[in-house]
Amino acid sequence: MLQRTEGIVLKTNLFGEADLIVTYITKDYGIIKTFAKSPRKVKSKFGSSLEPLTHSKISFWGKEDSSLPRLVQSDIVYPFHSLRSSLGCFLKVSEILELTLNFLPERDANNRVYSLLLNTLRAMEMDCRTELLLLFYKLKLLDFAGYLPMLNSCGRCGRKGNIFYLSSGTVLCNRCAKDSAPSKSLSPAVISLWMNLLGWDMNKLGRIKPAEKILQELTALIDEHVKYITERTLRTRTF
């Protein structure tokens, strides 16, 4: 059965002599892996449309539940080429792609994450130096995927608290914490930034400039949380 959708290339893996396994996040099917025949040959019909970050309209052939359908067509909608042509930008974008791959299951459409990724790539094309955008993406992705840590109140009973417990993935009040080992005491500024980032639209990000220290503190906390959940350091972080 021929299926059509639009998607963004997250990753490619070499397969055989000139073939590729292309991992997409798609609008209608979530994350899918497809098999592309001979795109590495000079005169391939796919051209540069299978490069990471390329937003394209794709058609693939296979049974509905096929684990590796065959990619038959890929027409570029927008290549996001400028994000690939700068090493610094590409490193930041790679972290976004790796997080997306880690937190979304295959074949489970999530339109909110798809739109979030597309809008984040568009925003990064304008300015990829901002750390705030990267943090914004991480928080929203964790929220949409169901792994967002609760920072403004106790994650179990809703009472006030400001001590974060890594093993529980949330702030806990004194009563709920009991024997848990606390990981970090959070400042009101960090909690406020967390709440604002979750409440804001992406287009409002440019208007605010949080203190560097607060931004780093929240980023470090979220990175620790991600590491605890995935049980490993992100590969992009080892670069």
Partner 1 sequence: MPGIIENLVNELTRLPGIGRKTAQRLAFFILSMPEAEALSLAKAIQTVKEKARFCSRCFNITEKEICEICSDNSRDKSKVVVVEEPSNILVMERVKSFRCLYHVLLGALSPIDGITPEKLKIRELIDRVKHNGIQEIIIATNPNTKGEITAQYINELLRPLGVTVSRIAYGLPMGSDIEFADEVTLGKALEGRREL
Q: Which of 44, 47, 38, 45 lies closest to 17, judged by CA?
A: 38
Question: Which H helix or E strand runs over 76?
Answer: strand 70-78
Give the contact letters, 4-43, x = binds to partner 1 (CB under 8 A), - = no: -------x----xx------------------------xx
Specify whether the CB–CB gap between 56 and 76 falls below 8 A: yes
Residue 36 or 186: the one with the smaller Cβ distance to partner 1 is: 36
Question: Which H helix or E strand runs over 164?
Answer: strand 163-165
CB of 50 to partner 1, least distance (A): 9
The sign of the dihedral angle between the CA atoms of 226, 236, 196, 27 is negative
Written as one letter, the residue type at 69 is P
Residue 51 interacting with partner 1 (CB under 8 A) = yes
Residues in region 61-90 near partner 1 by CB under 8 A: 76, 79, 81, 84-87, 90
Give the contact letters, 199-238, x = binds to partner 1 (CB under 8 A), - = no: ------------------------------------xx-x
Residue 4 phi/psi, 5-degree rounding, is -125, 140
Residue 125 interacting with partner 1 (CB under 8 A) = no
Residue 53 or 166: the one with the smaller Cβ distance to partner 1 is: 53
Size (the chain), residues: 239
Q: How far apart are CA 53 and CA 128, in angstroms?
A: 14
CB of 19 to partner 1, least distance (A): 10
Q: Which stretches of the chain bind partner 1, using CB under 8 A?
A: 11, 16-17, 42-43, 45, 47-49, 51-53, 76, 79, 81, 84-87, 90-91, 94-95, 97-98, 101, 235-236, 238-239
